[in-house]
């Protein structure tokens, strides 16, 4: 019992460490990947947006680089 508690404590601290380092990586990818400016699109142009991360936009039908969900097709109005 005591061992499994220690084990889960180690796992949790590892997970927290991972989350922290991936946050740093995420900030870098955000700078390079968020290049789509929807204000430059014409009315009727198709783009793709993540429902979970509205800031994730793409011209390609791809998966969100943040959560992995398929992006939702949107039409510029
Ligand atoms: Zn997402």
Ligand 1 geometric centre to CA of 63 (Å) = 8
Is the pLDDT reported for residue 31 higher than 50? no
Average pLDDT, the chain: 81
Ligand 1 geometric centre to CA of 44 (Å) = 23
Mean pLDDT, rounded, for 4-21? 69
pTM of the model: 0.55
Two structure tokens written together for 1: 């019992």
Ligand 1 geometric centre to CA of 1 (Å) = 38
Question: Are 74 and 46 in contact, with CB atoms under 8 Å apart?
Answer: yes
Q: b vs e for 4-28, b when ≥16 Cβ sit within 10 Å of the residue's Cβ?
A: eeeeeeeeeeeeeeeeeeeeeeeee
- Supply the DSSP string of 13-66, one letter for each residue: HHHHHHHHHHHHHHHHHHHHH----GGGSPTT-EEEE-SS-TT-EESSS-B-TT
Question: What residue segments make up the domains of the chain, in order of their start?
Answer: 1-33, 36-77
Ligand 1 geometric centre to CA of 57 (Å) = 9
């Amino acid at each position: 019992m005591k061992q499994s508690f220690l084990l889960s404590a180690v796992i949790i601290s590892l997970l927290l460490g991972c989350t922290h380092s991936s946050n740093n990586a995420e900030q870098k990818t955000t700078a390079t990947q968020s290049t789509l400016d929807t204000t430059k699109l014409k009315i009727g142009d198709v783009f793709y947006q993540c429902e979970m991360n509205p800031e994730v936009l793409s011209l390609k039908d791809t998966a969100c680089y943040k959560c992995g969900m398929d992006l939702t097709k949107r039409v510029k109005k």
